[in-house]
Every structure is written in structure tokens, then in C-alpha cells.
């Protein structure tokens, strides 16, 4: 284990003049805003060769909820090296009601809403590579510091460059403190602090959660939700911190007793740096290791011979816990490099092998790839070193080493017998995934905190552990409580009461967010009580049996059409203020909600496909991002030459895209027949099927996996694929991008259109003819304010996987997209077109699939096939229109 | 009046006990069937008031619904192939297992019954027959060099029918299998002895003249279960090949009912199909009943 020699602290900034650095006046106090992607160069005069740290004092400007990011580099502008990018986190605080959190009608605590605080903070920047300990090594002379905002904007107050100095050891600290202070005052009490009641935090995702499993988690109730712990897998990346304010009545020496649990990553010690009043008091607090444990246990940081005490005088103090990687940074850096080399190697092997492996062929890898064996041998060496490094404290039960050893075994076998690589290529790819996931686990430092205490000298912990019987009683109460509690209704309005009945089929967390918004934002303002229920049953059967609600949220457009064709929905086009309401949406989202001059729903979510591509692979191979289909086809043949391919879904949505880009709709003007026999439609159909016959794109594939491995560096997929990648593919976080779909050149530029899927809020017809409240409600639900609060709250509660694909165009820009992502999404959104929903909608997709399969599997001629199926579809559409009396008498 | 009173004193308890099940039968079997017959004579879209249309649905069903004919053919094919084959496999397996010792028998019974026990475990076959090049069967065939590109087992109409048959046969060790084992256990041993004395020459004669006639009740139960399950094939092809399958290649009557009931929301028409399916099942069952009762009679 390397000794921690030095780290600079926040306080140094104020005494920076003491150091032997000359800081030019304008940079020390600049107080200026740096905008997104703006670059600033600051000259510094260094008088002595040494390791330096950079302290940036800043205040984040109110913006979206993402952390601002800055790139820092010496003497050359930032290029695309990832270890130059740092977070300048915002400051958040949780809103509480009194001591604790707000409760719902049943006495369950509701998760607190975070609010942003504009405060001035200082971040100390050290290199994120093997020089993590020594600092930026600078020669004597003039240097330029480049700062570039990667994301969001901040106001930089000052920038200081300080020499890296060693920390005091605990021994020196305590000697110094003992000599200055007389010891602990009489009557000093143990100070208790719940971890969920934090003062400030750096990132939204660092959030409270609840665990009802034991009365030993404080506080707790058997069948009510108490948000009683902080953190978990969301408090795991370097730089995320949480701070607490504690009141000390009697000055003296206190030791810190932290009750924590770490069961997210098996067998791994996680690291936290502890600040007391903004300062790391001694080197033992610089990186405290918390070993993995299955249940909550107390831990007191230790020095050589016993617990560490800190001196606290009377008054308020701040204790802060920050995630640090420390010595792991070096390991991670080496790991990243070797993984990158191996991934490059893998794609070069792919070029030789092509899409399918021929086991009977001699590929002669050694002469085709002279670097193959050296790369493999080197990776074996580096990985073995890494195994040695982590198999100490950071990986106790060896789960990570075991996975690394498996990879090492394979690579050395491949290096020894390169001619057998073809046989192992699948296993090789799997191992690369696995290495990537080991790497991302290594970077995560999750911990859950229950509470911490400050125990004075000779003091005792204030918390008693409950015995077996009270634990048993607690569990029994929780078990029986589960029979009594109502899980489907979100609030305590009784069945008979006169309230607006709203059904929603969402995740429980999202429904809770919605319920909270309704209580705070709707019912309290309008006085209309709302009973929100989580329902997954078919709305059709509910209406047939007379149990229908007043309003249904998030209903798909096909379901909505089924209902209005059967006269079950209320026409909302006469709603108050409807013109202003409709301004919230793109016209494309309303297409399928209009029928017979009426409007039957307000859009809530909207989804459409985007083009996802691997920027790193594109760069390495010199590919251009295609804008038209002609460029797509050209790129496809290049990719296929390099053993890669594209991912395009065989679903009918691809056909709709082709069709709409030809400028043809699926139906004719009055929706009485399809346009499928139109020349352009036949052309679109051939293009769709050609992708899978002529161009040989795989018909079925796992988009996420093949995109990760780089076998498919370009995928057309719904834009929610972004969420999937963010959650499940951490290793390519910064190497993929979104762009507009490829289009067709027309006189007015390129037509990028595609089909868009919409869900909406509807009002169900009922016996009493008064729908004012219901209309008010759906107006409120789709409003800018509600939608942005809803998306913000669900994302912080559930994580990025719950990011809302809102249909409200004003809200999209408030969601945490980066600027380039937002631009791409908006551009595609503007061109999205919705294929209307006819009463025979089910017959379209079914027969298009049949037609597709006839062409692709049985090699029939596209034009014959589409004519035959078009006839069937039109016949069903005709029949359905007669059945439902649409379009007058026939 | 007196007569009625004494009748109830005498048989009241029995009728009370019977009454429970009778009520269930009436409410959950008879009435739904009757409602279904009534609805089948209407045009009903689930939300608006049904409209009486007479036999129109039946006329359309028989004269103009090509998919009905296709699904009827599929259902009969499934029933003819999987019904008797499954039934025979069931019996033969039960017979074999019955010959094993008392420790092995429960184990083997459990093993063969487990696919049915585990409910919708058959979806694991979607992995075996996956369309992707990484699907189990496709990857084996491609690795062995037998095929060059993945075969669309589940969506290509040339293959998916056979895939469904394989999976249904795999699942055929159902409740009838258990009743066969129970029947074989309860055979009267003395009959075998006297038959041996009377001159039974081989196991086949023993099976035909001694075993089977004793097992008619179990065989009957088995037949009823097999028929109802082979006519009610639907969830397996729907889960494996999609609903509806490519060009309706594995569409069955049951799927046709759900298609009209759930997707097209034409409940009148769906009921008409259900009534037809009901009639077919009743007719088939009475034929089988006759055949089984003639077992062992030359």
C-alpha cells in the first residue's frame, strides 16, 4: 500500500500568497462566467519545479440539473483526453418539513425534493492518472492553464495553483491539538446525526432511500415508509459529497463512529474522504476504507494505535464525506489503456474475420496483424500487475481478480497459439465485456449510511442494538401490515367520496411522484380531490362493466383510437383555452387524437427513432456520419468491408420511415384506404426489404450488446435507447453520440421524417355530463410546469432510466440533455410525423410483417407481395369502417 | 307436502353437498356458455349496445372467413398429431415407469411431469429456436457448418408449425399421465394371475385384455383432458411464433377467438367461433367415449 504523502486542501486557496507561486492578478480573481464550450487561457509563472494542484473557486449558475464539467489542461488546449475532465458540482439541499420529511395520507414519508443552492464552492483539482499523488509536475517558467467548459456554464471566482504539500499525520495532529486545548469539558454528550438528514450534497442522484427490514436501522416503522438511509449505488462516483451540520455543546475531543453498509459491490472496500469544517484534519481521514459488509455496522477511523479523535470547539461544525478513488486512479488508468488496446485489437480482428467465423479457414493472424501477439502479451503483464494491486484491500474475496485471471488465461492462450484465435473469438469478445464491467465496478464506490455519531472521550454510543425478539416482533408487524395496506391507491380518499378518479399505469415510484405533484400542485390550488390509482387492467373491460375512471393517463394511441371509434371518450376540443394548450405540442403528436372534427386526448409522451453511432469507431476508421440514405448505403459497404454492420430494426416502423421520407402518408385523405399501392409506397417497401436482402443487414440482433462491442457501430433505434445505454453500457459512456436519422434529398433540403409514437391523457364519458374538472386536470397534467417537475422528480428518484420522453416541447430543454443531444433530438422531433390510427390499425402491422417475411424469407417479388397484402388490408379497413359506421352510409 | 318433507329429511344433506358444486357449474359453466351463444347472434363491440344480427356471424364464419378455415385446419392438425401421439406417449411412458421399482418410480414420474408442472416454462424453447445467429439451434447448426445463415425457425411459415408440434409433444405429459400411473397402480393383481393360468401368451395380450379394460375410467379422463388440451392449443404457438403468426401458419381456433375478442373487439363474432369450437369438442369427445368403451371387446 502506497503511503498518502500529500493532498492540498481548500483552505490553501486563501493563503496561496504564502507559496512560491506568482499568480497574475487577473486570474487569481477573475469573477467571470464561462459558457458551455468556451475556452479560457490563464498565464502562470512558476518559480520552482514541483507538483502543483489547481483550486477553482466557482459558483454554478442556475441551469439544468446536470453537473457542470470543465476540462483542465496545461500548456495545450484540451483535446479529447477524458482524464482532463472534472465535475464542478452544484450544491443541493433536501426540502424537509420540520425535523424530518413530509408524509402522505397513510403516514408514509415522501422522498424529499432537492433544491439547488447558489453557493461559492472550491474544487481542488489533481491529475486523474498515475500522477494522482504528486500533482501536475511543472517546470520553472511561464505556463498556460487552459480551462474549457464541456457542459453547462459556471462563474469562476478565482483560480489558484498551489504546491502539493504533505498532510499532517494523526500523531502530529493530536500532539498539536493536545498542547493547544485542555481536553474534553465535563458532561460532553454523544452527538447523533441521521445520515438521511443531510445539510448539502453535490449531486442529485445522491439520495435518501428506505430499508424496512430491521428495527436496527434508524428510524424505522414496521409498515410505514421511513426514509432512513442515504446513498447506495447512486453515491459511488468520485467527487460526490454529502455534508452535515452538527452542534457541539461542550468543546473537546470526539471520535467519529459511522454506521454503514456496503453490499452493492461484493468484497470491495469503498473509499471516503472526511472533511471537518472543510478541511481534512490529518492524513488518516484522507482516504478512509469501509470494508464490504452485509448489514449495518459501526466503523471508527483508526490511526496506528487506536481510534482517531478530532478536536471540536463549542458551536456548529460541518462534517463532509466525499467519494475518492485515490490510489485506485493509477490502477484504473492502466486498466483503461489496456482495455482500449484490446478493443482496438478486437476490431482489427473483426476486419479479418468478417461477420461470421469460418472455423475451417486459416486466417493467418500473425502475418496480418504483427502487433497481435505483442499486444496480448503486454495486456497479460498489465492485467497481472493489476490483479496484484487490487487483490489486497480493495478486493477481499477476490471476485474481481478471479474475473481478471480468467481474461489473463485466455489472452495468454491466444498469444501462445494465435492460429486458434478464430475459435475463441466469441469468448474473447465476452471477456472484453467482462473486463469493461470489472473496470466500471472498480470505479464505483457505493456505500449506504444509516447514521453517524461523535463520541467524546470515555463516552458511549447512544444507540442500543435491538435484541432478537424485538426484531422478530418488528418483522411480524410488517408482515401482517402488508395484508392491510392498500398498495394500488396512492392517497387515502375513500371509495364513496366525490373525487376525480384517475388511473395510471406507471412504475410505483413514478406514480408516487405524480401523486405528490397532484396534491401539491392541483388539489391544493383547485380544491378538486383526486384519487390516483395504479391500474394495469384493460380499460376497455372497465368501461364495459361500468367501473370506468374519469381520466386515464399515459394511454397508447391505439387504445385511444379504439375508445373514440366506439364513442367512449369526451371531445376536448371545446375545452377552455384549448388553443393555448395545444401550443405546447408539435402538431405531429395530435394526428391520431383527432377524429371527426373532435380531439380526444392531450399528448403526454412522444417517442421517435434516432441514429446512434460510436464516435470512437467512426473516428478510428474515418467514417462520416451519414445524412442521407445514399451515404448510409456507402457507409454500410465500408463497414461490411471492415467486418462490421449496422443495426436497423425489421419492424414496420422502418417501413413508415421510408414511406414518410418519400412524402407519402400511409392512408389516403379520408382514411378510407391505404396508399400502399402507390408507386412511391411500393418503392419504400422495396427499400425496406432490400436492407435485409440486398444489403444483408441482420434481421434479428441484440442492439445493446452489438453496439457495445462495436460490431454494430451504427444503430437506428428509439431515442429511449439512450437511457438503456447510459444504464447498461458504462464503458462507452463518452464514445457514443446521437444524430438525426438519415433522410432523402428533396428540393427543400433533406427529409429526415420518421414515425412517432404518442401516449396521451383522456377523459372517459360517464353518465353525468360534467367534465370540467377532468378537463382541468388533463390541462394541468400536460402543462409545462407539471411536466418539467414530473420529469425532474422521477429522474432523481429512479435514475436516468426513468427519464421522461415528454411530448411537451417546452419541457424537453429542461431535462438533463447535453446541448448537442438536445439539438439532435429537437431536429428529429420537428420532422417526426405520426401515422394516423385507423380502426383496422392492427391489420396493417400484421400484414406488413407478413409481406416483409414473404419477400425476405421466401424471395418473392416486393411489388407482387405488397399489392396482395394491400388488398387484404383495404378489405379489412372497409369492413371495420362499416362495422363502426365511419364515413357515413356505404 | 309431507312427502316433500320426508324426502328432504332423507336426502337433504346429499343435495346440499351437491348444491355447492352445482351452483359453481351453473354460474361458471352453464351460464357463460349460454351467454356466449346469445352474444354470438349479435354484433357487439364491447362498449356500445349489442345489435341483434341473427345467424350473420355464423354465415360469415363459414362462407367468407379464410382465416377461420385455416385456423380450423391447423387446430385439427394439431389435435390429430399431438392428441393421439401425446396420448399414446403418455400411456406408454406411464406403463414403462410403472414397471420400475418403488423408489425410482416417483422420481421418474416427477421428471416427466415437470414440464407441465412448471407452467409456461416452454418459453425457454424460444431461446433454442431463436431467430438470431446466437440462438442455440442456429449457432449449433452454423458451427457444424450445416447452415450458413440463421434460420428463422419461429417466423418462417415453412418451419414454425413443426416447431410448435415438437414443443406441444414435449409438454404432453400432463394430468392424464398422472391418472394413468394411478390407474396402473390400482390394477387387480389376481386377474393377471388367473389370466396367466387361463393361457395369456404375451405382454401385449395382457395389456389388451387385462390391463386396458380395467383402466377405462382413467383412459376416459385422460382422453377428455387430451382432447380439451389439444383443441385448446393457443398459448404455445402464440408465445413461440407470435400472435398472429406469419400468414397465420400456426393460427388456431383459440387464437382466432382472442384475435377477434381482444384485438378486433368484435365479441359477437368471437363468441360464434367459440360456440363452433365447443360443438367440435363435444362431438369428438362422444366419438372417443364410444371407442374407449369398446376396449377389450372383440
| DSSP annotation string for B200-262 | --SHHHIIIIIIHHHTHHHHHHHHHHHHHHHHT--HHHHHHH-SSPGGGTT--HHHHHHIIII
Spatial distance between the Cα atoms of A46 and A23, rounded to a whole number of angstroms: 9
pLDDT digits (tens, 9 = 90+) for A535-593: 877 888 888 888 889 999 999 999 999 999 988 999 999 888 889 999 999 999 999 99
Interface mutation vs chain A, best among B137, B156, B246, B256, most A CBs within 10 Å: B246
pLDDT, position A796: 81
pLDDT at A104 over 90: no
Q: What is the pLDDT of residue B291?
A: 81
The predicted pLDDT at position B296 comes to 57
**Residue B103 C-alpha from the chain's centroid:** 31
pLDDT tens by residue, A510-519? 888 898 899 8
- The answer on pLDDT for A13 being more than 60 is no
Task: Read off the pLDDT band of A466 (50, 70, 90).
Answer: confident
Of A233-237, A316-320, A392-396, give the lowest mean pLDDT range.
A392-396
What percent of chain A has a predicted confidence (pLDDT) above 90? Answer: 38
Backbone angles phi, psi at B139, to 5 degrees: -70, -35
Question: What does the pLDDT average to over A587-616?
Answer: 92
Interface of chain A toward chain B, CB-CB under 8 angstroms: 356, 359-360, 540-541, 543-544, 562-563, 566-568, 698-702, 842, 846, 849-850, 853-854, 857-858, 880, 883-884
Mean pLDDT is lowest, of A320-324, B87-91, B117-121, for: B117-121
Q: A356 pLDDT exceeds 80?
A: no
Residues of B in contact with A883 (CB under 8 A): 43, 45, 266
Residue environment code for A388-412, b if the CB has 16+ CB neighbours within 10 A, otherwise e? ebbbeebbbeeebbebbeebbebbb
- Placement of cell 434529398 in the chain: A745
Interface mutation vs chain B, best among A544, A569, A881, most B CBs within 10 Å: A544
Average pLDDT over residues A848-870: 92
B138: contact with A, CB 8 A cutoff: no
Instruction: Tell me the mean pLDDT in the region A835-850.
Output: 92
What mean pLDDT, rounded, does chain A reach?
Answer: 86
Q: Which among A146, A139, A165, A153 is positioned nearest to A53, based on CA atoms?
A: A165
- Whether residues A883 and B143 touch (CB distance < 8 A) is answered with no
Q: What residue has cell string 358444486?
A: B21
Q: Which of A356-360, B27-31, B234-238, B289-293 has the highest mean pLDDT?
A: B27-31
Please check whether residue B43 touches A, CB under 8 A: yes
Q: Distance between CA atoms of A379 and B219, rounded to whole angstroms?
A: 67
Q: What mean pLDDT do residues A48-66 have? A: 85
CA distance linking residue A782 with residue A603, whole number of Å: 7
Cell numbers that stand for A134 in this block:
504528486
What residues of chain B lie within 8 A of the CB of A853, using their CB?
152, 155-157, 246-247
Instruction: Tally A–B CB contacts below 8 A.
Output: 60
CB contact set of A631 (below 8 Å; sequence gap of 6+): A624, A742
Of A625, A615, A608, the closest CA to residue A720 belongs to A608
Give A358-369 pLDDT, tens digit per residue: 777 888 888 888
* Placement of cell 414435449 in the chain: B170
pLDDT in tens, A612-642: 999 988 988 889 999 999 999 999 999 988 8
Q: What is the pLDDT of residue A497?
A: 67
Report the residue of chain B nearest A846, measured CA to CA: B244
Provide the pLDDT confidence category of residue A448 given band limits of 50, 70 and 90: very high
Residue A14: predicted pLDDT: 35
Q: Which helix (H) or strand (E) holds A46?
A: strand A39-46
Residue A17 C-alpha from the chain's centroid: 42
For residue A882, cis peptide bond before it (omega within 30 degrees of 0) = no
| Portion of chain A with pLDDT greater than 70, in percent | 94
The predicted pLDDT at position A494 comes to 65
B265: cell is: 373487439
DSSP per residue, A682-749: HHHHHHHHHHHTTS---SS--HHHHHHHTSSSEEEEETTHHHHHHHH-GGGTTTEEEEPPPBEEETTE
Q: Do B45 and A850 touch (CB under 8 A)?
A: no
Copy the grid coordinates of residue A538: 384493460
- The mean pLDDT of B58-72, rounded to a whole number, is 91
Give the residue-averaged pLDDT of A128-135: 83
Reduced to 3 states (helix: H, G, I; strand: E, B; else coil), residue A447 is: strand
For residue B4, give every residue at least 6 positions away whose Cβ sits within 8 Å of its Cβ, in sequence order, or none. Answer: none
Mean predicted lDDT score pLDDT of chain B: 87
What's chain B's length in residues?
298
Would you tell me how many other CB atoms lie within 10 Å of the CB of residue B29? 10
Residue A100 per-residue DSSP state? B
Closest by Cα among A120, A853, A222 to A481: A222
- The secondary structure of A570-600 as a DSSP string is ---TTSTTHHHHHTTS-GGGGGGGEETTEE-
CA angle A313/A317/A318 to nearest 5° reads 150
Determine contact, residues A762/A601, Cβ cutoff 8 Å.
yes
The span from the CA of B184 to the CA of B102, in Å, is 13
Beta carbons within 10 angstroms of residue A826's beta carbon: 14
**What average pLDDT does the segment A438-454 reach?**
89
Cβ A164 vs Cβ A6: under 8 Å: yes
Residues contacting residue A546 through CB under 8 Å, at least 6 positions apart: none
| A449 φ/ψ angles, rounded to the nearest 5 degrees | -110, 135
Q: With a CB-CB cutoff of 8 Å, which residues 229-258 of chain B face chain A?
A: 244, 246-247
Q: Which residue from A350, A244, A279, A272 is spatially nearest to A122, judged by alpha carbons? A: A279
Cβ partners under 8 Å of residue B115, min gap 6? B121, B122, B170, B171, B173
**H or E stretch covering B283:** helix B267-293
Pick from B35, B45, B238 the residue to mutate for testing the A interface (most A CBs within 10 Å).
Answer: B45
Cβ distance B263 to A360 less than 8 Å, yes or no, reads no
Q: Does B124 touch chain A (CB under 8 A)?
A: no
Q: Give the residue-averaged pLDDT of A842-865.
A: 92
Confidence of residue A30 (pLDDT cuts 50, 70, 90): low
Q: For residue A394, what pLDDT band results from cuts at 50, 70 and 90?
A: low
Angle of CA points B287, B291, B294, to nearest 5°: 145
Burial class (CB in 10 A: 0-12, 13-18, 19+), A542: middle
End-to-end CA distance of chain B: 52
Are B131 and A699 an interchain contact pair (Cβ–Cβ within 8 Å)?
yes
Phi/psi for A557 (5° steps) reads -65, -30
Q: From CA A170, how far away is CA A193, in angstroms rounded?
A: 24
A563: DSSP letter: H
The CA distance from A392 to A390, in Å, is 5
How do residues B176-201 score in pLDDT, each as one tens digit? 888 888 888 888 888 888 888 888 88
Task: Residue A318: name the closest of A288, A279, A286, A284 by CA.
Answer: A279
Distance CA(A621)–CA(A697), nearest Å, equals: 20
**Nearest CA-CA partner of A112 in A125, A96, A135:** A96
Nearest residue of B to residue A706, measured between CA atoms: B134
Asked if A356 lies within 8 A of B133 by C-beta distance, the reply is yes
Distance from the Cα of A386 to chain B's closest Cα (Å) equals 33
* pLDDT tens track for A251-308: 999 999 999 999 888 778 889 999 999 889 998 999 899 988 888 999 999 887 789 9
Cβ within 8 Å, pair A567-B247: no
Q: Which of A359, A699, A853 sits opposite B246 (nearest CB)?
A: A853
pTM, rounded to two decimals: 0.81
What is the pLDDT, as a whole number, of residue A29? 60
ipTM: 0.84
With contact defined as beta carbons under 8 Å apart, do A837 and A665 qualify?
no
According to the model, what pLDDT value does residue B268 have? Answer: 93
Lowest mean pLDDT among A68-82, B211-225, B282-296: B282-296
Residue A393 pLDDT level (bands cut at 50, 70, 90)? low
Mean pLDDT, rounded, for B89-103: 87
Does residue B3 surpass a pLDDT of 80?
no
For residues B246 and A699, give the distance between their C-alpha atoms in angstroms, rounded to a whole number.
15
Which residues of chain B are within 8 Å of residue A561 when distances are taken between CB atoms? none
Q: How far apart are CA A13 and CA A137, in angstroms?
A: 19
Beta carbons of B58 and B43 less than 8 angstroms apart = no
Do the chains contact at A566 and B156, CB–CB below 8 Å? Answer: no
Contact assignment for B47 to A568 by CB distance below 8 Å: yes
pLDDT of residue A392: 63
pLDDT number for residue A396: 59
* Greater model confidence, A568 or A391: A568
Instruction: Please report which helix (H) or strand (E) contains residue A763, including its range.
Output: strand A757-763
User: For residue A543, which residues of chain B lie inside 8 Å, CB to CB?
Assistant: 47
DSSP A101-127: --B-TTSPBPPPPEEEE---EEEEE--
Nearest CA-CA partner of A561 in A392, A759, A809, A705: A759
Q: Which is more confident, B133 or A824? A: A824
User: Length of chain A, please?
Assistant: 890
Inter-residue contact B271 to B37 (CB < 8 Å): yes
Q: Residue B116 — very low, low, confident or very high, per pLDDT cuts 50/70/90? A: confident
Mean pLDDT of the region A655-671:
91
User: Residues A218-235: what's their mean pLDDT?
Assistant: 88
Q: How confident is the model at residue A495 (pLDDT cuts 50, 70, 90)?
A: low
CB proximity list for B196: less than 8 A, separation 6 or greater: none
Distance, in angstroms, between B34 CA and closest chain A CA? 19
pLDDT computed for residue A4 by the predictor: 35
As a whole number, mean pLDDT of residues A805-827 equals: 88
State whether residue B131 sits within 8 Å of chain A by CB.
yes
Q: Does position A413 have pLDDT exceeding 50, yes or no?
A: yes
For A566, the closest of B48, B148, B263 (CB atoms) is B48
**Contact call for A842 and B264, based on CB within 8 A:** yes
Answer yes or no: do B132 and A854 touch at CB < 8 A: no
**Residue A558: which residues within 8 A CB-CB, separation 6 or more?**
A837, A841, A842
CB contact burial A50-68 (16+ within 10 A = b; e otherwise): bbbbbbbbbbbeebbbbbb
Task: Select from A566, A846, A854 the Cβ nearest to the Cβ of B45.
Answer: A566
Amino acid at each position: 500500500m502506497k503511503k498518502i504523502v500529500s493532498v492540498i486542501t481548500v483552505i490553501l486557496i486563501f493563503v496561496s500568497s504564502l507559496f512560491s507561486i506568482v499568480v497574475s492578478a487577473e486570474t487569481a480573481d477573475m469573477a467571470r462566467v464561462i459558457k458551455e464550450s468556451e475556452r479560457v487561457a490563464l498565464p502562470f509563472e512558476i518559480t520552482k519545479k514541483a507538483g502543483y494542484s489547481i483550486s477553482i473557486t466557482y459558483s454554478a449558475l442556475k441551469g439544468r440539473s446536470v453537473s457542470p464539467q470543465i476540462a483542465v489542461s496545461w500548456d495545450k488546449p484540451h483535446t479529447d483526453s477524458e482524464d482532463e475532465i472534472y465535475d464542478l458540482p452544484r450544491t443541493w439541499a433536501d426540502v424537509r418539513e420540520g425535523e424530518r420529511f413530509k408524509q402522505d395520507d397513510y403516514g408514509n414519508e415522501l422522498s424529499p425534493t432537492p433544491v439547488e443552492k447558489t453557493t461559492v464552492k472550491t474544487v481542488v483539482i489533481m491529475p486523474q492518472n498515475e500522477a494522482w499523488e504528486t500533482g501536475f509536475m511543472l517546470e520553472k517558467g511561464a505556463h498556460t492553464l487552459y480551462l474549457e467548459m464541456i457542459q453547462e456554464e459556471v462563474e469562476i471566482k478565482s483560480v489558484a495553483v498551489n504546491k502539493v504539500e504533505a498532510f499532517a499525520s494523526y500523531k502530529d495532529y493530536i500532539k498539536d491539538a493536545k498542547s493547544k486545548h485542555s481536553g474534553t469539558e465535563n458532561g460532553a454528550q454523544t452527538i447523533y446525526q441521521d445520515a438521511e438528514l443531510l445539510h448539502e450534497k453535490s449531486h442529485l442522484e445522491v439520495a435518501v432511500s428506505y430499508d424496512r427490514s430491521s428495527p436496527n436501522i434508524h428510524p424505522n416503522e414496521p409498515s410505514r415508509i421511513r426514509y432512513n438511509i442515504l446513498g447506495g449505488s447512486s453515491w459511488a462516483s468520485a467527487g460526490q459529497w454529502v455534508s452535515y451540520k452538527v452542534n457541539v455543546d461542550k468543546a473537546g475531543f470526539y471520535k467519529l463512529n459511522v454506521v454503514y453498509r456496503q453490499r452493492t459491490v461484493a468484497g470491495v472496500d469503498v473509499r471516503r474522504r472526511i472533511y471537518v469544517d472543510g478541511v481534512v484534519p490529518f492524513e488518516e481521514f484522507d482516504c478512509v476504507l469501509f470494508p464490504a459488509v452485509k448489514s449495518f455496522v459501526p466503523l471508527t477511523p483508526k490511526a496506528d494505535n487506536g481510534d482517531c479523535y478530532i478536536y471540536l470547539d463549542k458551536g456548529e461544525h460541518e462534517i463532509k464525506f466525499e467519494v475518492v478513488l485515490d490510489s485506485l486512479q493509477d490502477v484504473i488508468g492502466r486498466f483503461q489503456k489496456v482495455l482500449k488496446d484490446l478493443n482496438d485489437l478486437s476490431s482489427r480482428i473483426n476486419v479479418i474475420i468478417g461477420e461470421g467465423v469460418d472455423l475451417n479457414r486459416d486466417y493467418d493472424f500473425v502475418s496480418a496483424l504483427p502487433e497481435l501477439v505483442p499486444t496480448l502479451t503486454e495486456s497479460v503483464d498489465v492485467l497481472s500487475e493489476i490483479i496484484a494491486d487490487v487483490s489486497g484491500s480493495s478486493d477481499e474475496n477476490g471476485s474481481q481478480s478471479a474475473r481478471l485471471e480468467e481474461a489473463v488465461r485466455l489472452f495468454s492462450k491466444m498469444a501462445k497459439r494465435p492460429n486458434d484465435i478464430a475459435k475463441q473469438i466469441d469468448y474473447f469478445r465476452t471477456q472484453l465485456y467482462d473486463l469493461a464491467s470489472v473496470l466500471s465496478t472498480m470505479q464505483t464506490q457505493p456505500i449506504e449510511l444509516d447514521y453517524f455519531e461523535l463520541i467524546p472521550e470515555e463516552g458511549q454510543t447512544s444507540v442500543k442494538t435491538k435484541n432478537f425478539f424485538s426484531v422478530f416482533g418488528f418483522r411480524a408487524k410488517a408482515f401482517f401490515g402488508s395484508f392491510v395496506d392498500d398498495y394500488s391507491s396512492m392517497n387515502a380518499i375513500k371509495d364513496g367520496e366525490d373525487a376525480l378518479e384517475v388511473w395510471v399505469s406507471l412504475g410505483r415510484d413514478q406514480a408516487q411522484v405524480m401523486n405528490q405533484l397532484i396534491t401539491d400542485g392541483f388539489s391544493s390550488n383547485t380544491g378538486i380531490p383526486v384519487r390516483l390509482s395504479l391500474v394495469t387492467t384493460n380499460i376497455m373491460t372497465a368501461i364495459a362493466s361500468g367501473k370506468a375512471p374519469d381520466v386515464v393517463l399515459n394511454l397508447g394511441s391505439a387504445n385511444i383510437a379504439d375508445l373514440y371509434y366506439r364513442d367512449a371518450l369526451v371531445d376536448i376540443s371545446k375545452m377552455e383555452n384549448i388553443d393555448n394548450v395545444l401550443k405546447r405540442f408539435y402538431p405531429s403528436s395530435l394526428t391520431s387524437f383527432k377524429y371527426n372534427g373532435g380531439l380526444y386526448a392531450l399528448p403526454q409522451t412522444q417517442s421517435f427513432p434516432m441514429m446512434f453511432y460510436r464516435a470512437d469507431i467512426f473516428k478510428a476508421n474515418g467514417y462520416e456520419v451519414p445524412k442521407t440514405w445514399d451515404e448510409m448505403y456507402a457507409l454500410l459497404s465500408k463497414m461490411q468491408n471492415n467486418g462490421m454492420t449496422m443495426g436497423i430494426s425489421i419492424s414496420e416502423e422502418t417501413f413508415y420511415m421510408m414511406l414518410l421520407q418519400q412524402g407519402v402518408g400511409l392512408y389516403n385523405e379520408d382514411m378510407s384506404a391505404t396508399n400502399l399501392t402507390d408507386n412511391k409506397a411500393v418503392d419504400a417497401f422495396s427499400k425496406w426489404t432490400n436492407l435485409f436482402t440486398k444489403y444483408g443487414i441482420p434481421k434479428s440482433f441484440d442492439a445493446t450488446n452489438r453496439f457495445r462491442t462495436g460490431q454494430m457501430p451504427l444503430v437506428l433505434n428509439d431515442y429511449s435507447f439512450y437511457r438503456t445505454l447510459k444504464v447498461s453500457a458504462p464503458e462507452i459512456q463518452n464514445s457514443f453520440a446521437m444524430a438525426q436519422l438519415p433522410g432523402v434529398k428533396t428540393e427543400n433540403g433533406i427529409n429526415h421524417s420518421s414515425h412517432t409514437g404518442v401516449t396521451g391523457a383522456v377523459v372517459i364519458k360517464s353518465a353525468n355530463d360534467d367534465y370540467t374538472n377532468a378537463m382541468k386536470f388533463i390541462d394541468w397534467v400536460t402543462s409545462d410546469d407539471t411536466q418539467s417537475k414530473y420529469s425532474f422528480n422521477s429522474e432523481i428518484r429512479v435514475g436516468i432510466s426513468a427519464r421522461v420522453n415528454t411530448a411537451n416541447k417546452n419541457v424537453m430543454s429542461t431535462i438533463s440533455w447535453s446541448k448537442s443531444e438536445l439539438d439532435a433530438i429537437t431536429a428529429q422531433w420537428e420532422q417526426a410525423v405520426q401515422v394516423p390510427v385507423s380502426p383496422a390499425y392492427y391489420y396493417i402491422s400484421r400484414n406488413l410483417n407478413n409481406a416483409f417475411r414473404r419477400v425476405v424469407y421466401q424471395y418473392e417479388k416486393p411489388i407482387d407481395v405488397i399489392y396482395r397484402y394491400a388488398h387484404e388490408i383495404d378489405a379489412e379497413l372497409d369492413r371495420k369502417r362499416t362495422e363502426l359506421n365511419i364515413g357515413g352510409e356505404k | 307436502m309431507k312427502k316433500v318433507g320426508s324426502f328432504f329429511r332423507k336426502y337433504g344433506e346429499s343435495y346440499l353437498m351437491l348444491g355447492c358444486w352445482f351452483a359453481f357449474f351453473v354460474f361458471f359453466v352453464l351460464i357463460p356458455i349460454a351467454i356466449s351463444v346469445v352474444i354470438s347472434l349479435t354484433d357487439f363491440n364491447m362498449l356500445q349496445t349489442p345489435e341483434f344480427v341473427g345467424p350473420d356471424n355464423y354465415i360469415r364464419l363459414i362462407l367468407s372467413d379464410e382465416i377461420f378455415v385455416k385456423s380450423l385446419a391447423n387446430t385439427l392438425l394439431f389435435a390429430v398429431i399431438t392428441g393421439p401421439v401425446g396420448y399414446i406417449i403418455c400411456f406408454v411412458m406411464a406403463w414403462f415407469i410403472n414397471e420400475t421399482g418403488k423408489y425410482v418410480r416417483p422420481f421418474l414420474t416427477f421428471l416427466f411431469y415437470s414440464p407441465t408442472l412448471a407452467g409456461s416454462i416452454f418459453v425457454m424453447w424460444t431461446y433454442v429456436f431463436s431467430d438470431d445467429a446466437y440462438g442455440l439451434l442456429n449457432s449449433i447448426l452454423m458451427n457444424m457448418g450445416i447452415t450458413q445463415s440463421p434460420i428463422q425457425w419461429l417466423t418462417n411459415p415453412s418451419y414454425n408449425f413443426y416447431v410448435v408440434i415438437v414443443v406441444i409433444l414435449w409438454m404432453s405429459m400432463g394430468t392424464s399421465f398422472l391418472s394413468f400411473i394411478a390407474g396402473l397402480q390400482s390394477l387387480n393383481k389376481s386377474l393377471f394371475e388367473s389370466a396367466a393360468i387361463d393361457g395369456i401368451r404375451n405382454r401385449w395380450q395382457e395389456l389388451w385384455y387385462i390391463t386396458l379394460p380395467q383402466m377405462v375410467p382413467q383412459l376416459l379422463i385422460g382422453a377428455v383432458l387430451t382432447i380439451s388440451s389439444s383443441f385448446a392449443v393457443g398459448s404455445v404457438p402464440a408465445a413461440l411464433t407470435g400472435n398472429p403468426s406469419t400468414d397465420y401458419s400456426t393460427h388456431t381456433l383459440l387464437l382466432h377467438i382472442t384475435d377477434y375478442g381482444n384485438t378486433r373487439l368484435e365479441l359477437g363474432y368471437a363468441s360464434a367461433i367459440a360456440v363452433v369450437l365447443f360443438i367440435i369438442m363435444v362431438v369428438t369427445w362422444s366419438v372417443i367415449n364410444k371407442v374407449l368403451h369398446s376396449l377389450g371387446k372383440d
